């Protein structure tokens, strides 16, 4: 999936690399670079079997699956919308990077997710709450920005900002859920 998301902008923008005006050529090269980075990250996911001497395994964190699914659906919609515009568009390369970074979070070194629950200190609780509040605030501001861009007629700008806004809001909700789960679990004693 990541490799396919990287190949699409390469195929769409390659004809415009040598032809067109300077700005079109720059956008084509940028989209081509994003696509190439997406392909390389996809290959790394397929071929990298070890990280820091440990094999990579699929994460056990359920929230990451939901976040990856939401982001992949958003990026697919963004890519389809970008393909319906006159090429070249940098927007065709952005989904490759976003999908690659989303899929990368699904793999962790083996043994890194030991589920030893430790009671949160007051400082850690404050940090969690601040992080959740900041993520939700930035997501809301980005969502407002996307709506403002769409209302002003800049649909492509809105399409670029919207995935980030939704991703921040989804992560805020998932972090809140994980925080609540950790608060309600009894810590294990070693």
Structure confidence by residue, pLDDT tens digits, 13-30: 888 777 766 677 777 888
Beta strands 50-51 and 107-109 are unpaired
Cβ distance 79 to 95 under 8 Å?
yes
Q: Distance (Å, rounded) from C-alpha 84 to C-alpha 87?
A: 9
Q: Distance (Å, rounded) from C-alpha 4 to C-alpha 179?
A: 35
- H/E stretch holding 57 reads strand 54-58
Q: Is the pLDDT of residue 133 over 90?
A: yes
Structure confidence by residue, pLDDT tens digits, 46-91: 777 665 567 777 887 777 787 788 778 877 877 787 777 776 677 7
Q: Which of 85, 57, 77, 59 is nearest to 5 (CA)?
A: 77
């Amino acid at each position: 999936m990541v490799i396919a998301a990287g190949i699409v902008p390469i195929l769409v923008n390659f004809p415009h690399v040598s032809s067109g005006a300077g700005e079109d050529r720059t956008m084509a090269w940028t989209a081509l670079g994003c696509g190439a980075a997406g392909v390389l990250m996809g290959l790394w996911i397929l071929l990298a079997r070890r990280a820091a001497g440990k094999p990579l395994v699929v994460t056990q964190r359920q929230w990451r699956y939901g976040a990856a699914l939401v982001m992949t659906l958003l990026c697919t919609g963004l890519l389809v919308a970008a393909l319906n515009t006159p090429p070249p568009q940098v927007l065709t390369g952005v989904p490759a990077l976003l999908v690659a970074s989303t899929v990368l979070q699904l793999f962790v070194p083996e043994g890194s997710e030991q589920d030893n629950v430790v009671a949160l200190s007051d400082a850690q609780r404050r940090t969690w709450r601040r992080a959740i509040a900041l993520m939700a605030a930035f997501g809301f501001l980005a969502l407002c920005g996307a709506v403002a861009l769409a209302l002003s007629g800049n649909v492509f700008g809105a399409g670029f900002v919207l995935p980030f806004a939704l991703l921040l809001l989804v992560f805020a909700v998932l972090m809140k859920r994980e925080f609540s789960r950790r608060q309600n679990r009894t810590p294990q004693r070693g």
